[in-house]
Structure 1
Amino acid sequence: MNHEAPYTVEEIAEQVSTLAKQLHAAGRKDLLLKAIGAPLLEELRIEASKAKLSRLIITEDYRFILADYQKEIELQPVHKAVYLLFLAHPEGIEFKRLADYRDELIKYYTATAKGLDRDKIIEGVDHLVNPLDNAINEKCSRIKKTFLDMMDEYTASYYIISSHTQKHFEGSNRIWYERLKIITLPRELVVLLHN
């Protein structure tokens, strides 16, 4: 009895390509998207962009280097601390829950702001985690601008702290949304040279 697959993966890929071209030619991108599905489309987008994305090396002295572009990301210590926090949480963080990460943020800020007075660090972090203060939005905007000054918007979208809304279902009648902020850069491209 022959248990071999009827097609090789290469033959399946050829069939998918042919079918995708037929749907596209028929003007039915909607059906193509439905067939692929949004989660897989996002995975494919990441796979396609990996060739363009640079490794982000964070040195022992907290310099942020885009190794494959041979460029350094110039950020203030507070911006680096915010960035490190979001890098450490690929699952994302809601801004309204930043206070839960206060100690971690203090740790990162202390590490990136060598010589800065501890009271100043704590005061700065308290501004960041205060939901009534706009400080976290200002810091994220500054980080975004720094990356956009160095690369195109599509590539930068992987490096910046961006919004991601997750829909949750609780039972059959309750839906709630988690408005997460995340860095979508694949973590295998992040090289941490510090402890």
Structure 2
Amino acid sequence: MIEELKFLGYYVDSFRRNQIDQSLSKIESLDKTVIVFDLIGNFQLNLYYKEHHDTIVKEFNEAGYNFTFLPGTDFPDNTEDLISYFIPHLNEKIHFSSHQLFHLIMAKEKDNFKYFSSCAKDNKLLLEYLGYKGNIKSGFIICYDSLIHVIQYTNEDIINRVESPKQFIIDYGTKSKLINDENLFNSRRRVNPEFARAIDESLDEETLNKINSINKEIDALKASGKWLYILPLLKKTLEDLSDEVDLNLIGGVKFDDDYKIYIPYFNNLEIKLNSLSKAVYALFYNHPEGIRISELWKHEKELMSFYLNISNQNDLDRMNQSVRDITELGNKTIFTHISRIKSAFYNAMEESYAKNYIIDGAVFGSDLKYIPLIYNNSSNDEIDPDDVYEPPFI
């Protein structure tokens, strides 16, 4: 497609993107995205895409592309919670209120088109985010895998009746979509649905609903194009925090005097658990080497000690029975608490972070269970465990 467009006389800049920040890669997903941008206020271009917006979006979607007319896209509202879920070390450190206010004011100018030129700065920020260093000021951005193509199209082209590259892009996408749909159909036939279900079965319904809701919100923001305004600002925030953030050495959890669980690295994000599940977590956290489920009975007194410190219950017999249910050989109650702990972390943060903190094993169904973050660190002779986790109260 690109060579054909060049042959037809269109000016095209193509380049391969640099590797993006690991945190942003979880939420960006720009593959198969087409963006119309404008740095100079092209009246005719903006008018066409404003008046035919819904039809054009549908055409691109049917060809397998996400499409955004960037000059006519509003800044998203209430994204801080979503961002903190996917990038928890930005929890309470990112604020978009000033950007939202600016776009709210500019939105009032949409009808007389001052809005488009006023938001040229945001268009420029996106080009910089993508790594574009060329001179094209308006036209189409095509993101395909790690390749970016910027195709020039301006008011002058419209006045001179130069055909828009839009239809070439749509035709190419349609052909590619037919091939990809066939490959996807064949690959789905080989997927084991039991494996997919096994991943989610250990999460409670509330957590699964929250994860699904968050993913739908992210997908809606991406489909609307609003997410494109957030990405450059996120990148800048991450760069500003680079000196104080080291993703290769995530800190452990801390237990305060009231036995609440916090993650200092994530701006003291609290992980909420009931008293007994919290005692189970404290037990495993106090054993970075891990504990075999078949040997939990050896830790009955230690677990009871944690439970007594944490719980407000006064019924000692009932508390003893609850602990015995967990440590008794062959009793599966422990897995209920492991599942609750997993749900609590997955409810607070995205999987790639949460999986470091849950009680897990090297192999699914393994008898040895441990917290990956401190288990991995405690087995590394080059890292002092005291630097990466703080044993809870005894």
Q: TM-score, normalised by structure 1?
A: 0.62
Stretches of 4+ moved more than 4 A in 1?
Answer: 192-195
Distance 2:332 2:391 in 1: 29
Cα distance change on mapping 1:193 and 1:107 into 2, 3 Å: closer
Query: 1:61 corresponds to which residue?
Result: 258
Q: CA distance change for structure 1 residues 193 and 86 in 2, over 3 Å: closer, same or farther?
A: closer
1:182 aligns with 2:380: no
Aligned counterparts, 1:18-167, within 5 A? 49-51=247-249, 53-70=250-267, 71-164=269-362
RMSD: 2.1
2:343 alignment partner, SS class: helix
Letter of the 2:266 partner, please give it: Y
Paired amino acid for 2:388: L
Cα distance in 1 for residues equivalent to 2:392 and 2:361: 28
Displacement of 1:191: 3.5
Alpha-carbon shift at residue 134 of structure 1 (Å):
1.6
Contact 1:86–1:183, Cα closer than 8 Å, also in 2 = yes
Q: Secondary structure at the match of 2:254?
A: strand
CA distance in 2, matches of 1:94, 1:191: 22
Q: Secondary structure at the match of 1:139?
A: helix
Change in Cα spacing, 1:135 to 1:163, as seen in structure 2 (3 Å) is same
Q: 1:82-136: per-residue Cα shift (whole Å, max 9, x none)?
A: 0011011111111011001100011011111034321111010010012332210
Matches within 5 A, 1:4-19: none
CA contact (8 A) 2:285 2:392 kept: no
How many residue pairs get matched?
Answer: 135
Residue 49 of structure 1 deviates from its aligned partner by 4.2
SS at match of 2:299: helix
Distance in 1 (CA, whole Å) between partners of 2:392 and 2:283 is 16
1:72 is paired with a residue whose SS is: strand
- Identity over the aligned pairs, expressed in percent? 29
Greater RCO (CA < 8 Å, at least 6 residues apart) = 1
| 1:54, distance to aligned residue in structure 2 (A) | 4.5
The residue type equivalent to 1:60 in the other structure is: D
Q: Which runs of 5+ in 2 are unaligned?
A: 1-245, 375-384
Determine if contact 2:356/2:371 at 8 Å carries over to the other structure. Answer: yes
